[in-house]
């Protein structure tokens, strides 16, 4: 089967490796592996899936997550671009066994905009609920163990581009992937009317509205709590009321709750968003998306005020603040330090 990339694209990828942080490269790869995994679950019944393909996709995702965890701990080694391309080629081969390519190339007609696809692809809460039970839940809980007496909940917070996913990789790796990831942006590849839309457009890797993503996230969180799974949730704290409700629900369900905050200067997170977008355009144009400056700045502004509310609520068991350089605060060791002061300083450029 042909490679997903031509010679020109491979040269561009190799050149990009010299100017793009390795963590951005690997975060993009991890997203690709997960979306292909989701697409297979979404488009096929269990009896038509070769589960060795899912195992292989999951192993490549986990290898990438493990390397991200080492990078986060400043112990990481480089995965050469040649090796990355080889892994992406394997994901492409698996994808093509089940469907026309949806990820590695972009061949939607020019007249079809993201806004049009979102409008035509919008779905009701009832449709999402049915799909969740039949597709999303089995995919999310496959190879995971529940029934924990005192399960862990990790809530990762920071503005877009701050490095939450890399920080989260440490905990996924430490818990040997036995964690349900319920973040609202992890459902790409699932859609109740995928086949109808794919037939119409030729390519359709769904763009969810934020509201729909949050609905699926809420479904998964409730089910994870019911089944007593370990849980990981990434967010920007823009909707503080929903986060406070989540913490309250977890506390009432006897979870051990860790709040892990990412301290990152605004200029660095905005730069990272663009670096991630360029990697997506090179590796997986079907997934590429850009976060607006307005949304980024709103998330930055909300982060500090929302953190104050979480500290005030005081229902967590542990709070940690990390930057890309290491630990800044741990409530187990530095309870007298001011979390807000630490975050305020680090979100400016003075210390970077």
pLDDT confidence bin for 107, thresholds 50/70/90: low
Q: How many CA atoms lie within 13 A of 330 on its CB side?
A: 4
* pLDDT score, position 177: 92
- Please compute the mean of the pLDDT values over residues 188-204 and round it to a whole number: 71
Confidence at residue 138, expressed as pLDDT on a 0 to 100 scale: 96
Q: Where are the domains of the chain?
A: 7-346
Q: What is the CATH number of domain 7-346?
A: 3.40.50.300
Mean pLDDT, residues 132-146: 95
| List of residues 6+ apart from 54 with CB closer than 8 A | 37, 40, 41, 142
- Give the mean model confidence (pLDDT) for residues 246-262: 97
- Taking all residues of the chain, what is their mean pLDDT, rounded to a whole number? 89
pTM for the model stands at 0.91
> What pLDDT score was predicted for residue 111?
57
pLDDT in tens, 29-81: 999 999 999 999 999 999 999 999 999 999 999 999 999 999 998 887 779 99
Nearest-angstrom CA–CA distance, 236 and 318: 19
Q: How confident is the model over 263-284, as pLDDT tens digits?
A: 999 999 999 999 999 999 999 9
- 143 conformational bin, left if phi > 0, alpha if psi -120 to 50, beta if neither: left
Residue whose token pair is 């998330």: 299
The angle at the Cα of 214, spanning 47 to 201, to the nearest 5 degrees, equals: 60
What is the distance between the alpha carbons of residues 291 and 277, in angstroms, rounded to a whole number?
Answer: 9
Q: Which two tokens mark 27?
A: 């975060």
User: Helix, strand, or coil here: 230?
Assistant: coil
Higher-pLDDT residue of 244 and 202 is 244
């Amino acid at each position: 089967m042909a490679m997903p990339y031509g010679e020109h694209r491979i040269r561009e990828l190799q050149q990009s490796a010299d100017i793009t942080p390795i963590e951005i490269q690997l975060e993009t790869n991890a997203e690709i592996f997960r979306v292909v995994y989701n697409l297979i679950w979404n488009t096929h019944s269990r009896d038509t899936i070769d589960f060795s393909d899912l195992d292989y996709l999951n192993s490549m995702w986990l290898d990438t997550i493990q390397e991200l965890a080492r990078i986060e701990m400043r112990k990481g080694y480089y995965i050469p671009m040649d090796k990355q391309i080889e892994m992406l080629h394997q994901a492409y081969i698996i994808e093509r066994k089940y469907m026309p390519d949806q990820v590695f190339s972009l061949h939607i007609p020019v007249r079809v905009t993201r806004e049009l696809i979102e409008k035509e692809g919008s779905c009701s809460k009832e449709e999402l609920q049915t799909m969740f039970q039949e597709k999303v839940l089995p995919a999310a809980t496959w190879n995971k163990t529940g029934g924990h007496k005192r399960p862990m909940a990790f809530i990762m917070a920071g503005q877009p581009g701050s490095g939450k996913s890399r920080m989260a990789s440490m905990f996924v790796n430490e818990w040997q992937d036995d964690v349900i990831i319920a973040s609202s942006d992890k459902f790409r590849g699932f859609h109740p009317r995928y086949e109808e839309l794919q037939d119409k457009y030729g390519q359709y890797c769904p763009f969810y509205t934020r509201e729909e993503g949050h609905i699926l996230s809420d479904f998964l969180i409730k089910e994870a709590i019911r089944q007593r799974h370990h849980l990981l949730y990434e967010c920007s704290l823009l909707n503080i009321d929903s986060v406070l409700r989540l913490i309250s629900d977890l506390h009432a369900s006897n979870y051990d709750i860790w709040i892990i905050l990412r301290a990152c200067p605004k200029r660095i997170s905005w730069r990272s968003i663009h670096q991630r977008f360029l990697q997506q355009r090179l590796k997986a144009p079907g997934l590429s998306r850009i976060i607006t400056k307005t949304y980024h700045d709103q998330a930055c502004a909300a982060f500090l005020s929302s953190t104050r509310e979480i500290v005030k609520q005081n229902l967590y068991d542990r709070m940690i603040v990390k930057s890309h350089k290491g630990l800044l605060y741990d409530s187990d060791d530095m309870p007298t330090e001011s979390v807000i002061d630490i975050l305020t300083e680090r979100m400016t450029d003075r210390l970077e």
